[in-house]
């Protein structure tokens, strides 16, 4: 049995309400991947304390062991909402223009990483593997090493890794990347991100790989992998059989009333390309007035990170845009965009995906995009919907049989909608089969096994072949 400690900034099962409030994508693959392993999950509890004490709360929930600590208000402002979400998130998604650089954010980030590392250190035993997740925790291994931890520590980045011309706009970028080199294994979602990281190392730090996926730094060897995160496809298909998913599917079919539903499901984030998506849909409606009333767009986008100004701006922009498009094209018995800001359960979403004729996944930049994989898993094999997918998602490197588009081009999106609506069922079935095979084969368990195999230091599992 594995002796594993998984660290993410937020232990979400303990704090789902807070996870939504802070706009964290729910780390479902981590939950799936940990099931049945002898793992301990550690992170922030989601709760705010007046004074940080570092005292651990230990719990067991759904067979998973969890340890968490409360952070103080300054940690939340400067570390979680500050450096992680206002500085790093925009930078990693190529939006230097939206990134905020504040010295106290940097200090708060270092303090937050240090506090989490110090809190978990007493529970790390000699034979534990430690697996740290995502951009809020770049510095954890550095902190653990300073405390004397010489366990194998791995890191997986769920977001993109940007080109060095973007990253070098981050003050202290070299210090941050050097701290990252305290991990033994560093995983990225795609080969492109991995290459961008290696390119940064070579040009900014003068570090060249000694083998294709191996670098050496200060006498240590670090593996740098591309390993796309997967969903638990079998579990997702089981979800479809739940009463809630069935009811959601039936309600969606009834409400579509013979019209083809185009579905979009995203957190309301600037990286998701929602204004561009609405513009492409508007372009289609204008080009094909004969198709109006036969289709509609259901866009589900619950607000996230409301206390950050650019998130309220995008919310206002989308309200104005959907109002304008509806005003322009609607008739007395048809509304072209149903724009919904409410949260939906996984079961409800599964039912909606199955009822959709088209899934629109069009981010401007996205590390992976799990919605694309969930949409594929939810389809009826005999009458599957078509996935329209941005080429700037990590998922596009695997899901080659989707209709891949440039999300910045309204024309490309409009043409893809037309192609999807006209696509014969035989072609839809052929494309879906290939998409589902990859979603099912490279699933959450495969991702987790492959990463841990590398972290243990063995190379029995072959490198993924589909990452170009
Ligand atoms: P991100 O992590 O950037 O939010 P992903 O698509 O990779 O984007 O993952 C989002 C996860 O959150 C998916 O599992 C998806 O089903 C879920 N999700 C996305 N949008 C919504 C929504 N509107 N309501 C409920 N869950 C959502």
Q: Is 158 a catalytic residue?
A: yes
Residue 30 is predicted with a pLDDT of 77
Residue 13 is predicted with a pLDDT of 54
pTM value > 0.90 = yes
Four-point Cα dihedral 37, 5, 454, 459, nearest 10: -50
Looking at the structure, tell me whether residues 267 and 222 fall in a common domain. Answer: no
CB neighbour class for 327 (10 Å; exposed up to 12, middle 13-18, buried from 19) = exposed
Looking at the structure, tell me whether residues 321 and 175 fall in a common domain. Answer: no
Structural domains of the chain, count: 2
Looking at the structure, tell me whether residues 44 and 181 fall in a common domain. Answer: yes
Selected catalytic residue, list 134, 232, 366, 443: 366
With a 6 Å cutoff on the Cβ, whether 19 touches ligand 1 is no
Pocket probe mutation, ligand 1, options 30, 92, 349, max atoms within 8 Å of Cβ: 349
Looking at the structure, tell me whether residues 150 and 173 fall in a common domain. Answer: yes
Nearest to 233 by CA among 134, 361, 368, 372: 372
Q: Is 329 a catalytic residue?
A: no
The boundaries of the domain holding residue 359 are: 233-441
With a 6 Å cutoff on the Cβ, whether 343 touches ligand 1 is yes
| C-alpha pair distances (Å), 454 with each of 157, 236, 448 | 15, 27, 10
Residue 1 is predicted with a pLDDT of 63
Looking at the structure, tell me whether residues 411 and 318 fall in a common domain. Answer: yes
Looking at the structure, tell me whether residues 394 and 256 fall in a common domain. Answer: yes
Residue 24 is predicted with a pLDDT of 43
Residue 60 is predicted with a pLDDT of 86
Tell me whether residue 160 is in a domain: yes
Tell me whether residue 461 is in a domain: no
Instruction: State the Cα–Cα distance between residues 178 and 142, nearest whole angstrom.
Output: 9
Asked if 336 and 297 count as a contact pair (C-beta separation under 8 A), the reply is yes
Pocket probe mutation, ligand 1, options 16, 23, 26, max atoms within 8 Å of Cβ: 26
With a 6 Å cutoff on the Cβ, whether 396 touches ligand 1 is no
The CATH number assigned to the domain holding 245 equals 3.40.50.2000
Looking at the structure, tell me whether residues 142 and 59 fall in a common domain. Answer: yes
Looking at the structure, tell me whether residues 354 and 393 fall in a common domain. Answer: yes
Residue 115 is predicted with a pLDDT of 98
With a 6 Å cutoff on the Cβ, whether 189 touches ligand 1 is no
Ligand 1 centroid–CA 25 distance in Å is 6
Asked if 151 and 130 count as a contact pair (C-beta separation under 8 A), the reply is yes
With a 6 Å cutoff on the Cβ, whether 349 touches ligand 1 is yes
| DSSP letter, residue 54 | -
Could you report the average pLDDT of every consecutive run of 10 residues in the chain (468 residues)? 87 51 53 78 94 94 87 97 97 97 97 98 96 97 98 98 97 97 98 98 97 94 97 95 98 97 96 98 97 96 86 93 97 96 95 98 98 98 98 98 98 98 98 98 95 80 41
Tell me whether residue 178 is in a domain: yes
Looking at the structure, tell me whether residues 237 and 202 fall in a common domain. Answer: no
Tell me whether residue 358 is in a domain: yes
Instruction: State the Cα–Cα distance between residues 84 and 325, nearest whole angstrom.
Output: 35
Instruction: State the Cα–Cα distance between residues 35 and 176, nearest whole angstrom.
Output: 32
Rounded to two decimals, the ipTM of the complex is 0.97
């Amino acid at each position: 049995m594995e002796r594993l400690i998984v660290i993410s900034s937020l232990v979400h099962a303990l704090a789902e309400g807070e996870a939504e409030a802070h706009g964290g994508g729910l780390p479902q693959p981590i939950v799936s991947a940990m099931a049945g392993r002898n793992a301990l999950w550690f992170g922030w509890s989601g709760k705010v304390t007046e004074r940080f004490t570092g005292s651990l709360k230990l719990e067991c929930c759904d067979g998973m062991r969890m340890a968490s600590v409360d952070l103080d208000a300054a940690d939340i402002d400067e570390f979680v909402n500050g450096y992680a979400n206002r500085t790093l998130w925009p930078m990693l998604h190529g939006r230097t223009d939206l990134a905020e650089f504040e010295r106290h954010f940097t200090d708060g980030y270092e303090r937050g990483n240090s506090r989490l590392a110090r809190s978990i250190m007493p529970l790390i035993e000699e034979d534990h593997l430690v697996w740290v997740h995502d951009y809020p925790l770049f510095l954890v291994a550095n902190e653990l090493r300073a405390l004397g931890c010489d366990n194998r520590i791995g890191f997986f980045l769920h977001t993109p890794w940007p080109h060095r011309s973007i990253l070098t706009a981050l003050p202290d970028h070299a210090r941050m990347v050097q701290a990252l080199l305290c991990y033994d294994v560093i995983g990225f979602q795609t080969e492109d991100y991995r290459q961008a990281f290696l390119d940064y190392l070579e040009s900014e730090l003068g570090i060249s790989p000694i083998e294709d996926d191996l670098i050496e730094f200060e006498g240590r060897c670090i593996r740098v992998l591309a390993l796309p995160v997967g969903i638990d496809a079998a579990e997702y298909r089981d979800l479809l059989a739940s009463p809630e998913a069935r009811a959601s599917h039936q309600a969606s079919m009834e409400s579509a009333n013979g019209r083809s539903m185009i579905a979009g499901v995203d957190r309301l984030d600037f990286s998701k390309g929602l204004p561009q998506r609405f513009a492409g849909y508007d372009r289609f409606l204008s080009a094909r007035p004969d198709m109006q009333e036969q289709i509609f767009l259901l866009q589900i986008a619950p607000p996230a990170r409301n206390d950050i100004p650019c998130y309220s701006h995008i919310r206002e922009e989308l309200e104005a845009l959907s109002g304008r498009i509806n005003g322009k094209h609607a008739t007395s018995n048809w509304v072209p965009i149903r724009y919904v800001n409410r949260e939906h359960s996984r079961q409800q979403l599964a039912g909606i995906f199955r009822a959709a004729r088209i899934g629109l996944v069009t981010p401007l930049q996205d590390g992976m995009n799990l919605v694309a994989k969930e949409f594929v898993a939810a389809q009826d094999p005999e009458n599957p919907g078509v996935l329209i997918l941005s080429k700037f998602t990590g998922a596009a490197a695997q899901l080659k049989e989707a209709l891949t588009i440039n999300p910045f081009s309204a024309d490309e999106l409009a043409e893809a909608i037309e192609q999807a609506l006209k696509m014969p069922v035989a072609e839809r079935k052929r494309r879906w089969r290939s998409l589902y095979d990859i979603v099912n084969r490279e699933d959450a368990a495969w991702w987790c096994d492959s990463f841990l195999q590398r972290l243990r230091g063995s190379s029995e599992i072959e490198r993924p072949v589909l990452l170009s």
